Each structure stands twice: as C-alpha cells, then as structure tokens.
Structure 1
C-alpha cells in the first residue's frame, strides 16, 4: 500500500514545491527584483549545484558529446531555460501565484498537441483512450483559461487568521500593483509552449545521450550565459543585481530547477 502511494505523494510534494516557488518568487518580484535578474541567478545557481552530480556520477560513463548533441542541448537551453523562465517570471510579475499555478496545468495539454506532428503521441479518436485524451485536454485548457481570464463577483470567505508580516510589508511598499489580467497570463501560456518544446527536444536527445546530469549541467551553463546577456541589456544598474535582500537570495536558490 505504501509503495502504491509513493508516486502520488511525490507528485503532491512537487505541486506544493511549485506553489511555494510562485509565492516566494512573487515576493521577490514585489520587492523590486528584476525578473531577468532572477532568472540569470537561477541558472547560475543551478549550474553550480548540478556540476558535482554530473562529474561524480557520469564523467566516466557518459556517451561522447557530438556536435549534434551540443546543438540539441543548446536548443534545450533556449526553450526550457531561457525562454521558458524569462516568459514565466515576467508573467508572474504581472499576475498572481494562483494564476501562475493554474496556467501551469496547460503544460500537459500543450505538450500533447505539439507532440502529435512528431509522432510522439497518437489520438485514436475512435478508441475510448483517444476520446479521453481529447476530453482531458479540452477540460484542462478550458479550466485553466476560465480561472485566469474570467473576472466574476468576489466570494467572501472571511479573512485568514494567518498573517506573514514580512509579505504584508512588501505588498504595502509596492502599493502600485502591476498586475495585468491579460499580459501576465498570456506570457505564462507562452512559457508553457516553450516548455512543451523543451520536452520534445529532450525526448529526442535522451535516446542518443543518456547522461541527464551532464546534459542538464551544460544546458544550465549555456542558459546562464544567455540570461546574463539578456539581464545585462534589461537591467544595467549594478545595484539592482545585489542579493543583499534575503528574499532575493531565497527566491534565486529556491527557484533552481535544472
């Protein structure tokens, strides 16, 4: 019984972790941290963390790194790290953690649709399994979009007795809320499309290069350079790159997802 519950509990913990990431990241963004700076630090920390695993676990056994593999890793760094995360965190800046979590549910549906032309997925509309895929995809997309874009009447569920004074102070200082009910969700959806493309490239690459730690380390290293260049153009004030604030350090490390 315990072994059967382990995958379920693991996925629940993953979702809790993503929810925490959205909340902590939103606080860092509300404190004035540039989303491009956050993404650059995130990739740098991810590279530092993953390199020891790649060296000690795969250095002697990994397949040969060819030009074709390097190109696939480069494409992965653009789609899954740079483009996906830049779009996501800019979108998070202009939306809320709840909307970001809801729109992440579009990822399986988008991946399914994008994988169809590559023959990685089949519909089989005449079979019950195919009909379930189509129905599940429609419900997933419809539910996420409804929650994100529909603005109905507020339901009064009372005020929470839990108050995080630090978060309240940040929100008060940033009283000019930059939420945009269209731009924020749109950017998050775009990040899901980039992430889905990363899954497709990774599926192809993993068949020829079965060294996940090494490929992740190279991907994060390439993404670090890309994000540093983008961040340098976007934020040219050195003081805005400071990690003196605790929430910025915590957000940059917490958000590491090689």
Structure 2
C-alpha cells in the first residue's frame, strides 16, 4: 500500500513539475523587468547597465560551456565570428538599448506587454526571408497570419490610445511625474516615443532570432555560442557607453540596484532561465513554455504597480489582452507545425533557449 501511495505521489509530482517550474520561471523573468526599471530609476545609465548585465551573463554561462561542451564545440570560423559580432550588436546593443530607453518613457509593465509581439514579428521576418512557409489554405497557417495581424493591432492600440489611468495599489513613488511642468500632450508624446523605441527593440530582437537560427547550424554549441554573444554584446556596449557617456561616475557600482539589477538580470536571464526552460522543453516542448509568456506580463503589471508605483492605463490593458490573444494564435499554429513535423527552421530563444521560428520567449529581458 505504501509503495502504491508513493508511486501515485511521485506521479503527481512529475505531472505538476513542468507547471510549477514554468510558473516559477515567469516570476523570475518578471523580476528582470522590475530590477531593470528599478536600476534605471535609481539613476544608473542604461548603457552601463547593458554592459554589466551582459558581462555577468557571459561569466555565468562560460563555466557551463567549458565543462559541458568541451568535446562538442566546433572550430571557430570567420563567418561564425562575424555573425556573433552582429548578434551581439543586434541583441544587447540595439534591442536592450532601445527597449530600456522606451521603458524609461513608459513603464516596465508596458514594455513586457509589447514584447509579447516578438513571436509575430519574428514570424513575419521568417516569411520574408523564406525561413517559414505559409500555406494559406491550412488552418495552422491561417492561425499564424491572423495572430500576427491581431498582435500588431494590439501594439498599435497601445501606441495610439492611452486612456484613463488606473492605480492597482496606492504608492508614494511613481515612475512618471504628473506635475504641472509636463502637459498631457508632452506625456502622450513621450508615451508614443517610448512605444516606438520598444518596437524598434522588438524588431532587433526578432532579427536576432533569425540570424541566430542560421548561426546555430554552423556552430551547434549553444552554451558556448550564448556566452560568446553576451561577451561580444558587452564589449560593443562598452564602446557605445564610453562614447555616449563621458562621466566616470556612471560606472560606479554600489550595494544598491546598480549592483542588484545587472547581477539578477544577467544570472536569471541566462543561467537559471536556460536550465529551467531546457528541462521543461525536454518533456513538454517549446510551445508549452511559450504559452505561459503572458503570465509574465500580468506579474510585471501587478508588481510594477505595487513596488514601483507604475501607472496602468486602459489602452495598455486592452492592447495587452489583444497581443496575448494574437500570441496564442501564433503559438497554436506553430504547435500544429510541430505535431505535423513541418517546422522548417530551428532557432534559439534569447541568449540561450532552443526553439524554432517563430516560437520565441519574449521574457528573457
């Protein structure tokens, strides 16, 4: 009897494990948005933040790459080397640079909502570059096309319509000043500008996936490749930061968010996220992991309001819901591709995950 009970408990734990790990991962990834926003709010330069974050990510991944891929790591070629430099520029420099800048104009919750559009943008780029085939007569292709259009509609709504303001929690600190020195017109202008910056980050991130899907075929050592991309991004970001910001104090690290932010985002977005997602995808596949992405948006919205005093707007709520619906449509269509074995292009998620186009995880910020 005890053995039977033990077997049942073990079976229940195994069934619940993917759900527990994936939900926990969403909380962890939500923290990357919050720590980033808190670091920027405390005066840390976003360019310096990018340098430290990617340097820490490279250091976190390098030991695992050296240990686990020492026998399978291919030789470096000039083509792969150039592609790594481009990947390091697309993701850490362009994507994170514009996304964090847009986040300063808007909010962490807003950025996390817009980032759900990345799979749809990736799908469009993959179709243009013929990495993804669309058979318009098939239901799964129709779902991906409709989901992409719905996602863009949600992002456009969030850009053009702000709507009434909501505060989930009363908080003494706010991420946006509401004083008389800023008119509503200027605030709206900043909101639109911030949204455009985040959308540019989405485009760069999606381009990163496309190029990564090509590079990983030539250099199939994912940990090593991820570590090299983070290192290339850190070095290129350092050059940009040194040119743009001549203040030596901007590089100072203290025992506050200037340390906690880069440390958490570097380790969480690379090491821990890679391990958990890889573990879950072995048993449930990438579609299962991706389907939980909108949960991160909800967590960031709630915690951002409670911890950072961020304002929530009706346009963001409606647009976020529309984007989530579009995301699930794309995910469903891509899931049918997996079931029918027609997916044609392998890719990785940001920095570390192993997925196929256009299923990507917009959480790894």
1:6 CA displacement: 4.9
Gapped regions of structure 2 (runs ≥ 5) = 1-11, 270-350, 352-365
| Structure 1 residue 204: Cα displacement | 1.0
Which residue does 1:134 correspond to in 2? 145
The match for 1:147 is 158
1:164-183 matches, within 5 Å, as 168=172, 180-183=190-193
Higher relative contact order at CA 8 Å, sep ≥6: structure 1 or structure 2?
1
> Which residue pairs with 1:160 in the alignment?
169
Q: TM-score, normalised by structure 1?
A: 0.87
Structure 2 residue aligned with 1:200: 210
Cα shift at 1:153 = 2.5
Secondary structure of the structure 2 residue equivalent to 1:32: coil
**Contact 2:80–2:219 (CA<8 Å) still a contact in 1?**
yes
For structure 1, which runs of at least 5 residues remain unmatched after alignment?
none
Matched ranges for 1:2-21 at <5 A: 6-7=17-18, 9-21=20-32
1:103 paired to 2:114: yes
The 2-side partners of 1:171 and 1:113 are apart by: 34
Label 1:145 to 1:67 Cα distance change in 2 as closer, same or farther (>3 A). Answer: same
Q: How many residues align?
A: 251
Scaled by the length of structure 2, what TM-score is found?
Answer: 0.63
Find the aligned partners of 1:18 and 1:50 in 2 and give their Cα distance: 17
Cα deviation code 1:119-174 (max 9, x no counterpart): 2212211221111111111222222332344122335x7x637x6xxxx5685999
Structure 1 runs of 4+ with >4 Å offset: 1-11, 168-179
**8 A contact 1:99–1:148 mirrored in 2:** no
Q: Contact between 1:109 and 1:140, CA under 8 Å: does it hold in 2?
A: yes
